[in-house]
Amino acid sequence: MMNKQLLFCLLLCSAWNARAQKLHAVYDYIPSSAATFREHVYFENGTRIAVRDSVPVKADAGKESQANDEISSNFTMVMDNGKNYRNIVIQKNDKKSLVETRSLKGNNYLVTDQFPGLVWNTNYSEKDSIGKFVCRKATAEYRGTTLIAYYTDEIPVPAGPYKFGGLPGLIVMLYNESANPNYWLLQELTYPYNGNIPVNEKYIYSLPKLSLEEYVRKDEAQTEQQMRIMQSKMPVIDGVTVERHKVRGAVEQVYEWEAGKGK
């Protein structure tokens, strides 16, 4: 009888732990002072799915948290136009390779990223309060930039926004060192999460396939062509030469295939 009770308790604990691992977090993604985007992150059974809306969110006058005041008050504007496309990132069971949806010339693609992985340095003693969470600091080198993350071990789920995770707790805030840093700031959390993940994986995996390198080359070639067209329409001034330098505003500054080469 005692063994049956013990087995029942173990099964109950196992079921609760599996349920508790299911999480839904909502981040504000702030790529510049121009706008803020909403990003939903779902974590279940080792799979992390990030879904980012392409339409900026409206400023919310009701948000009064100190952490939000420090960042979002400087990085939010009201915009409500255009069609909403979603960038979806799927990483399964901590595998380095991940997939994401991206658009090019109005078409959607499934882009495979041979993700280099993150080696986090968590050897920091200081703690910071961000919103209602006590957070620890971690840093990692990533594609030509340094990531600074603040995570909480109060939520022992190795999840975070976009392509980032793998820490001993949920990432509450993350940004990269840059002249124009990208920020992610946790705004809402449901843990444990009992709802469904609103992502049609069958449709996503049916999309035309590209590697990340193929996509970046095509996307930047398209941008280069658009810039040349714009430049051709500008008046020519004698003695003045306009030089253009490739600047990536995203958190990814240098890719693996560019290492040691000029961009």
Distance CA 199, CA 180 (A): 31
C-alpha 57, offset from chain centre: 16
Q: In what order do the strands lie in the sheet with 145-152?
A: 127-130, 133-142, 145-152, 170-176, 183-190, 23-32, 35-44, 47-53, 86-92, 97-104, 107-114, 209-211
Least confident window among 61-65, 117-121, 159-163, 214-218: 61-65
Domain range holding 101? 20-209
pLDDT cut 70: percent of the chain above it:
73
Q: What distances in angstroms separate CA 241 from CA 1, 185, 231, one per listed residue?
A: 87, 41, 11
- Tally of structural domains, the chain: 1
pLDDT band at 242, cuts 50/70/90? very low
Q: Both tokens of residue 212?
A: 């990340």
Is there a domain that residue 216 lies in?
A: no
In-domain check, residue 258: no
Confidence of residue 75 (pLDDT cuts 50, 70, 90): very low
96 is a domain residue: yes
Residue 168 located in a structural domain: yes
State the pLDDT at residue 222. Answer: 86
Q: Which comes out higher in pLDDT, residue 120 or 224? A: 120
Report the sign of the C-alpha dihedral through residues 72, 156, 161, 213, in that order.
positive
Tens-digit pLDDT profile for residues 31-61: 987 789 999 999 999 999 999 988 887 655 4
- CA atoms within a 13 Å half-sphere pointing along the CA-CB vector of 114: 7
Residue predicted with more confidence, 15 or 205: 205
Beta strands in 81-182, from DSSP E residues, in sequence order: 86-92, 97-104, 107-114, 127-130, 133-142, 145-152, 170-176
User: Which token pair is 148?
Assistant: 């600074």
172 pLDDT more than 60: yes
Tokens 């090019």, located at residue = 104
Give pLDDT tens digits for 145-154.
Answer: 999 999 999 9
Joined tokens for residue 147: 């990531």
* Backbone angles phi and psi of 18, in degrees to 5: -65, -40
Tell me whether residue 185 is in a domain. Answer: yes
- Cα separations in angstroms, 196 against 143, 165, 193, 216: 33, 21, 9, 32
CATH code: domain of residue 121: 2.50.20
Give 93-110 as a DSSP string.
TT-SEEEEEEEETTEEEE
Residue 234 DSSP class: S
Burial 126-143, CB ≥16 within 10 A → b, else e: eeeebbebebbbbbbebb
Per residue in 52-80, is it b (16+ CB within 10 Å) or e — as a string? beebbbeeeeeeeeebbeebbeebbeeee
The pLDDT value given to residue 202:
93
Q: Strand pairing partners for 44? A: 47
In the structure, what pLDDT confidence band is assigned to residue 82 with cuts at 50, 70 and 90? Answer: very low
Q: Is-above-0.95 flag for pTM?
A: no
In a domain, 223, yes or no: no
Q: How far is CA 147 from the centre of its chain?
A: 12
Mean pLDDT of 84-98: 82
- In a domain? residue 255: no
Residue 205 inside a domain? The answer is yes
